[in-house]
Structure 1
């Protein structure tokens, strides 16, 4: 493989992003994936295992791994961590009784070494439901201010049902992942030039 082929392959990888979408069951992960892809969301059943959806979003190719959130499946989440560029954590903002469980699972996830370089987008979903906590309230419950300062993160209020907030979240995620990949390629390309 020639140098130009290697550089082209790197440039293509900059446009392709692996996004891992997780959260507790019934938080709206699958609905978000379908909505952002313009698909029908009227009939959705719980994800048992995982779904992979490849979406052309803006000028990027997003490979979204939508992993089920049932308690019995959570121990398998670690099987999907490799090469994750962006992590999307979905919270049901209207399910107040499970917020402690939500915080516990997110804390465990963020301890994973293989996810240390992944940016974190938190969707505070179901903002259209009366009594839902605001993104600021969710951030406080999840203690996001105490998160490692080296991790890129953002919380966005959304409604998977209406689509509100989804573009804002994915725009942020793709921008951050793109910038991280650009910085990485700035280090790699000079090494290839030295090898010539």
Structure 2
């Protein structure tokens, strides 16, 4: 009975999921984070360390860790996910940001370059977007919401 109640409770109550936002320096990670949070462009400076914000989408809480992308900080990225068993259930969302920039790689080109089709043990999705306008961001979050707990 307790197991059934817990399962039903999870359908009706808020759930929190941790999200790690990593990427190269000046990729738009912080701009994406604050588009989700405030639905507007926030002028940012390079992130030293991390920003942490909670985003709520359809009763699902995302605790988002935006980690600085400077090369000198990349060696510390693993401290945000080391020794966590939950990564085996992780889904991977790649935002192909800056699609408004002339000559940028398309999502398909990025997917091929990163050999994303070789990822077999995690659900993954690449989403074209423009952090400055917000275009494509909601679709990425919808995909992420639909793949929580998949596996």
- Could you tell me the TM-score, scaled by structure 1's length? 0.67
* Equivalent residue for 2:102, pick from 130, 134, 140: 130
Deviation string, structure 1 residues 106-148 (Cα, Å, up to 9, x no partner) = xxxxxxx86332100000000011111110000011111122x
- Where does residue 133 of structure 2 map in the other structure? 162
Cα shift readout 1:70-112 (whole Å, capped 9, x = no counterpart): 111111111111597xxxxxxxxxxxxxxxxxxxxxxxxxxxx
Structure showing greater Rg = 1
CA distance in 1, matches of 2:83, 2:53: 16
**Residue 120 (1) aligns with residue 89 (2):** no
Task: Provide closer, same or farther for how the CA distance between residues 12 and 80 of structure 1 changes in structure 2, counting only shifts above 3 A.
Answer: farther
Higher helix content, 1 or 2: 1
* Contact 1:14/1:178 (<8 A) preserved: no
Q: Report the equivalent of 1:151.
A: 122
SS at match of 2:148: helix
Report what 2:29 is aligned to: 29
Q: CA RMSD in A?
A: 2.7
Gaps of 5+ in 2: none
Give aligned pairs, total: 150
Counterpart of 1:96 in structure 2 is none
Q: 1:7 to 1:136 in 2, by over 3 A?
A: closer
- Asked if the contact 1:52–1:65 (Cα under 8 Å) also holds between the matched residues in 2, the reply is yes
2:140 is the alignment partner of 1:173: no
What is the distance in 2 between the residues matched to 1:49 and 1:12?
35
Farther-moved stretch of structure 1 (30-39 vs 12-21): 12-21
Q: Structure 1 CA distance, aligned partners of 2:3 and 2:88?
A: 30
